[in-house]
Every structure is written in structure tokens, then in C-alpha cells.
Chain A
């Protein structure tokens, strides 16, 4: 692992790649700072434009955008009382009151430092877990990868927003969409509706772009929210904010660890991590009354967790092929686009890309915090952009990017179809992550199932031979039962009361 890491650092520190890292980080910072936009839309749109690029550089860009976006939202939260992304809502509770009392610099300093150090904690945990993950991965065979795919779909469907049924419906729909087109195993055309372009099926990247970018733009423009509010200005006190993270190091460490651990749980997302961390800080505080009225510990707790969670989220994403958040689901799609199969074998076969993501995330968080510290006032000017302009530009780029992914005009229609599906799913309160995961994992599941049956000569017991397979089957059943455990316990208590 160390020789690969040295090689990756060598690529990262080439002048042109370093410049790209900075540009991608600033792009993510701006995307995160504009309320309603976020790094996710930026990554989704850029995926097709990285076609032909060295995957190391492509994933450096994605990781940098993600790193930049996490902190960008806190600037809006602190200075203009509007969270850049939903996880930044916890930062706003104390960040904006601090700004109003003339301590914007202190809030920014604390936020920037907690973000950078929180990200470092998350990435250290990720780095330390890699050798263990590698050992686990080496024990995986083809039947085990099949069960891992099933478990990935199941656990995401159960844990993600919405009911268990709707989560499973979303995953099932994703699987059905994935099975359209020519079956790569048998060369049979399935569900092509007599259209020649449907032989490729629902191609992942345009689907991904449409599913995430278009509904967000509809939401952004139709909300009518005035982003352009007059905010507070950063005048001084940044260094005091930086020092406060070290003064309240217990708050920081606890929050960073909570963020990392919650990030590991698939599909939990940033909002829960920052929410839990913030309220834990309140609970453990000697004098909790100040929270919500400009307590620097509130900013530290929220931002440390918000950035640490990404390190945690990379663990199931890169190690098992199960996304830790919606951005991770998009990054999984990027792996498929670049010809890498997500799942346990990603670590084994593409360790250099995994390590590049790790180092790019680390450096981008440091760059973004430094940039935010110095240029906070200038960065928040972008929040004055009219959402109608942003929406018009992003909608146009969505279809351009969908076409550009393979110079196929019909891919625009795929983006449109999935954009409409994404819009409807939001209205139904159904999460989109299981659907995109179904699109990504179903070909892997089907391929590994057929290969397992072929290897065993039609003997299905191959799926229950190894301890890992049995453990994964148990996990699948357990995942389906978890939501109902309380009800079962309640019924048993009533029965025996």
C-alpha cells in the first residue's frame, strides 16, 4: 500500500494536477456555498466530461469537489443565515448569531479549522481501516460479491429516507431499469421496446445526471427563495476562532468521531451526522444555555462532524460498494463510467484510485478551509446569484453533458426520463439513492450470479457454502427485520404482560 501511496502522491504533485486540484476544490467550495446547489450536482455533471481522462485525475477532481463543497455551505450558514447544504443547518444555529454579534471572523475561523481537522480525522480512520478492508476483500469470491450486492441494495433501501417499502420499490425499479437493453451474458435484447438505441439500455451516467441535477433545479427555481440576502461581513477574529477549536478540543474530537462513525453507516447522510453531533455537544456541555445563541462550540461540533463524515462514508463506498451518502452513490456511478466495478474488488484492483481519493480529499479540505478563512466575504457574494440564472445554466449543461458522455443524442432522453422520475420520487417521498444503486449494482449482481452457477455446474449450493456468504445472508435478513424490531418487541411484551 505504501509504494502505491507514494506513486499517487507523485501524480498529485505534478504541477498541472495540483492546479486542477485547486480549481476543483474552489469549484466545490462555490457549489457548496450556493444554497440549493451543492457538490453533488457539480460532480454529476462533470462525470461525462472526464471521459478519456486518467481515472486517477478524474477521481482526484471528484474528491476535491466533494471536499470543497462540505465547507462551502458553512460560509453561507454563518454569514447570510442560509445553509449552503442541509447538513450546514446545524452550523447556522450558532454561526449566524456569532456573526450578528460582530464575531463572524471567529465563527469562520472555528468553522474552517474544525472542518479541516474533522476531515483529517475521518481520512485517518479511512486510511487505518484500509488494510483490514483489504484482508476482508481478499476472502471474497464470486458468490460473496453476489450476496454483497444484494445486501447493499437491501440495507440502503431500508435505512434511507422514506418507508422500507418505498426504499425497496426504489431499489427494485433501479434493478428493472438496469436490465433493459442487451444482456451482456446472453446477447439477448431485453425490454428494448423495438427501439434501436435502447439496445444500450438506460446508460448510467445520463440517468445519474438527470436523476440528481434536474429535480434539484426545479426545486431551486420554483422555491422562489431569495438567496441574495444582505449578510454579515468578516472583519477580524479569525485567529481566535482557529484557537477555539484547540481550546474546545474535547467537543471537536467527540464530534469528529461521531461524524466518522455515522458516515460509515450507509445512506445516513450529513444531516444526521451534524444533527447528532450538535445535540451531543449540547448534552455534554457544562453550560448548554448559550447553545443556539452564539456558542462557538456549536459551530465546532457541527463542522467537525460534517467534514469527518465524508471520511467515514468512503469506507463502505470504496470497501464494499455501498454508498455512505447520495454523493457517494454518484461517485460509484463515476467508477462504472471509468470502467471500474464498484464493490469489494475495487480495493484489490484499483488501490491507486482509492488512495488518490483519500489524498485528494485530505488536501482539498485543507485548501478549502484556507481559502474560506482568507476570502470568506468574496465567496459569499456568489450566493447573490439569482437561482433562475443558476437553474437555466445547469439545466442546459445537464443535457449537454448527457450528450457529451458518448456523443449520443438519445442519452439526452435518458437524462430527461430520469429527471422526471427523480422529480416524481421526491414528490412521493421516495429516496433516489436505492434507485441509482439498483442501476449500478444489478449488472454486477446478475453477472456474479450467472458466473457462480456456471462455475458450480448448476449447483446452487455454491451460494451457501462459505461462511462469508452465510453471514451476508444473515445480514440481509437482519436488515429487513430491523425496522420492525420495536413492533415485534412491543407485541411480545404485550403478549406476556
Chain B
């Protein structure tokens, strides 16, 4: 039962699924088609030429890609061939097995620092982080840098780490920000659409 649950859980990873790819490529195809249709309304040939050419090729490629994802792309990649050929020796050769072992260690070294969470857990964090990242520019636009930068950093670190780290890093970062961006570079930060009289 545990094994079955694990399989079901893996199947529900959104970003690595075939359906995700197909839907995404389809959305891109629809968007490009819309752009080409809009371009057909323009009158100047210098405006239309390249958009039509690029858009047309792109539509064709996207259709081929969607078809491939629905079935299977059997044509091997050049760079995969080069990478494969580099390490290949005669079968059964002692050097070949040593190379395979070294390659495996290298791949493990790369993947171990890239993730030590399960795929599902990693995906949850990714979605969470996407939410945090999407919120920031909107908050900066609405309330301004002076208010949002320290608040965002503090709450982010409070959420993902702990209170002490949040306080220390927020203070250090904002002092550095003030010295480097405002004093040295002379940047005037956006103060926001919504003014906050109780801060200033």
C-alpha cells in the first residue's frame, strides 16, 4: 500500500508531467497565433516581415513539438551524442567501467547539491516560492521600496527561517542597501502608489 501511495504521489508532480508540457506548448502556440493575427493588421511591410517569418516558423515548430510530446521523438540529440561518445570505449574494457563509475559519481555530486528533498516536496516549495516572488514587484509598486524591502525580507526569513535571522539579515541588508544604492549610486527609490503617512 505504501508503495502504491508513493507511485500515485509521484504521478501527481505537476511540473514534470507530460500533460504540463503539452498544455504549456499549446498555450504558447495559441499566444503566437494571436500575435500573428494582430500583425496581419499592420500596414508597413517593414513591420510585418520578420514577425510573420519568425511567427510562422515558431507555429510550425510548436505543432511538431506538441505532436512529438503526444507520441515520441526518436531523433537523438547531437550534444547527447557528443557527450556519450566522449566516454565510450570498447565494451568490456576495464577503462569503460571505470569511466562509467566516475561519471556516476560526478552525476551524484551534481544532483546531491541540487536537491536532497523528494520531488513532491521540492515542487511544493517551488510553488510557495513562486507565490512569494510574484507578490514582491506588486507590493513594491503599491507601497514603495522604503516600506516593502525591509518588511518583505523580514517576513520571508521569518517564514522560511527564524526570528533572529530575520532581524539580523534585514538590518544588515537595509544598511548596505542605503549605503550602496542611495548614497553611492544615488538611486531614488519609488515611493509607491499608496502613500503611507504614518511611516514618513
25 A–B pairs (Cβ distance < 8 Å), ordered by A: A35-B113, A82-B109, A93-B105, A159-B79, A163-B77, A166-B65, A169-B28, A169-B62, A176-B35, A188-B47, A191-B38, A217-B133, A224-B125, A227-B113, A272-B79, A275-B86, A395-B133, A399-B140, A407-B190, A420-B130, A428-B24, A442-B54, A449-B49, A483-B77, A486-B81
The residue from A89, A400, A487 contacting B177, defined by CB atoms under 8 A apart: A400
Chain B, Cβ-Cβ closest to A160: B79
B90 contacts A by Cβ under 8 Å: no
Stretch at the interface among A20-28, A179-187, A467-475: A179-187
Q: Which residues of B contact A291 (CB under 8 A)?
A: 98, 102
Stretch at the interface among A99-107, A344-352, A411-419: A411-419
The residue from B47, B75, B188 contacting A483, defined by CB atoms under 8 A apart: B75
CB pair B110 A482 closer than 8 Å: no
B82 contacts A by Cβ under 8 Å: yes
The proximity string for A residues 462-495 relative to B, scoring 1 for CB distances below 8 Å and 0 otherwise, is 0000000000000000000011101100000000
How far is it, in angstroms, between the C-alpha of A450 and the C-alpha of B50 when the chains are bound? 10
Q: Which residues of A contact B28 (CB under 8 A)?
A: 169, 173
Given contacts A92-B106, A288-B98, contact A222 B77 (CB under 8 A): no
How far is it, in angstroms, between the C-alpha of A90 and the C-alpha of B186 when the chains are bound? 43
Measured between C-beta atoms, what is the minimum distance from B144 to chain A in Å? Answer: 9
CB pair B129 A221 closer than 8 Å: yes
Supply 12 further A-B pairs (C-beta < 8 A) apart from A92-B106, A222-B122, A415-B137.
A164-B78, A173-B28, A218-B133, A222-B129, A223-B117, A272-B86, A275-B83, A283-B89, A412-B136, A412-B140, A428-B25, A486-B76
Chain A, Cβ-Cβ closest to B54: A175
Q: Which residues of B contact A83 (CB under 8 A)?
A: 109-110, 113
How far is it, in angstroms, between the C-alpha of A238 and the C-alpha of B194 when the chains are bound? 59
Chain A, Cβ-Cβ closest to B89: A283
How far is it, in angstroms, between the C-alpha of A415 and the C-alpha of B76 when the chains are bound? 34
The residue from A90, A283, A400, A445 contacting B50, defined by CB atoms under 8 A apart: A445
Task: Name B's interface SS.
Answer: helix
CB pair B122 A412 closer than 8 Å: no
CB pair A221 B133 closer than 8 Å: no
B46 contacts A by Cβ under 8 Å: yes
Q: Which residues of A contact B76 (CB under 8 A)?
A: 483, 486-487
CB pair A400 B149 closer than 8 Å: yes
CB pair B87 A279 closer than 8 Å: yes
The proximity string for A residues 398-414 relative to B, scoring 1 for CB distances below 8 Å and 0 otherwise, is 01100110010100110
CB pair B99 A169 closer than 8 Å: no
How far is it, in angstroms, between the C-alpha of A400 and the C-alpha of B152 when the chains are bound? 13
CB pair B54 A282 closer than 8 Å: no
Interface size counted on chain B using CB atoms at 8 A? 87
Q: Which residues of B contact A268 (CB under 8 A)?
A: 79
Chain B, Cβ-Cβ closest to A50: B185
Measured between C-beta atoms, what is the minimum distance from A6 to chain B in Å? Answer: 31
CB pair B109 A81 closer than 8 Å: yes
B141 contacts A by Cβ under 8 Å: yes
Interface size counted on chain A using CB atoms at 8 A? 91
Measured between C-beta atoms, what is the minimum distance from A352 to chain B in Å? Answer: 25
Q: Which residues of A contact B39 (CB under 8 A)?
A: 190-191
Q: Which residues of B contact A77 (CB under 8 A)?
A: 109
Among B76, B132, B137, B187, chain A packs the most CB atoms within 10 A around the CB of: B137
Measured between C-beta atoms, what is the minimum distance from A127 to chain B in Å? Answer: 28
CB pair A276 B105 closer than 8 Å: no
Q: Which residues of A contact B129 (CB under 8 A)?
A: 217-218, 221-222, 391
The proximity string for B residues 64-90 relative to A, scoring 1 for CB distances below 8 Å and 0 otherwise, is 110010000101111101110011010
How far is it, in angstroms, between the C-alpha of A424 and the C-alpha of B46 when the chains are bound? 32
How far is it, in angstroms, between the C-alpha of A423 and the C-alpha of B24 when the chains are bound? 13
A325-367 contacts to B (CB < 8 Å): none
CB pair A169 B65 closer than 8 Å: yes
The proximity string for A residues 247-275 relative to B, scoring 1 for CB distances below 8 Å and 0 otherwise, is 00000000000000000000010001001
Given contacts A92-B109, A272-B82, contact A225 B87 (CB under 8 A): no
CB pair B47 A186 closer than 8 Å: yes
How far is it, in angstroms, between the C-alpha of A391 and the C-alpha of B128 when the chains are bound? 13
A243 contacts B by Cβ under 8 Å: no
How far is it, in angstroms, between the C-alpha of A475 and the C-alpha of B188 when the chains are bound? 48
Measured between C-beta atoms, what is the minimum distance from B156 to chain A in Å? Answer: 5
B134-163 contacts to A (CB < 8 Å): 134, 136-137, 140-141, 145, 149, 152-153, 156-157, 160-161
The proximity string for B residues 165-189 relative to A, scoring 1 for CB distances below 8 Å and 0 otherwise, is 1000100010001000100010111
Given contacts A190-B39, A221-B160, A389-B161, contact A275 B187 (CB under 8 A): no
CB pair A86 B110 closer than 8 Å: yes
